[in-house]
Amino acid sequence: MNRSKDERLTDIVMGDAVLQLLKKKRPVTNSALLDKLRLMASVEPDAGRQKALSRAMAEVKNNMQSSTQDSMALKDTNNVTHIFRNRDNTGKDTQH
Whole-number Å distance between alpha carbons of 19 and 45: 20
Please state whether the predicted TM-score (pTM) of the whole model is above 0.85.
no
Give the least confident one: 6-20, 22-36, 41-55, 80-94: 80-94
Q: Please say if the pLDDT value at position 93 is more than 60.
A: no
Residue 27's pLDDT is 87
Alpha carbon distances (Å) from 90 to 24, 62, 75, 83, 94: 45, 29, 28, 20, 9
Whole-number Å distance between alpha carbons of 96 and 90: 14
Q: Please say if the pLDDT value at position 82 is more than 90.
A: no
In this predicted model, what pLDDT tens digit does every residue of 47-81 receive, in sequence order? 999 999 999 999 999 887 766 556 566 677 676 77
Which backbone phi and psi does 75 adopt, to 5 degrees? -100, 135
Q: Provide CB contacts within 8 A for 61, sequence distance 6+.
A: 34
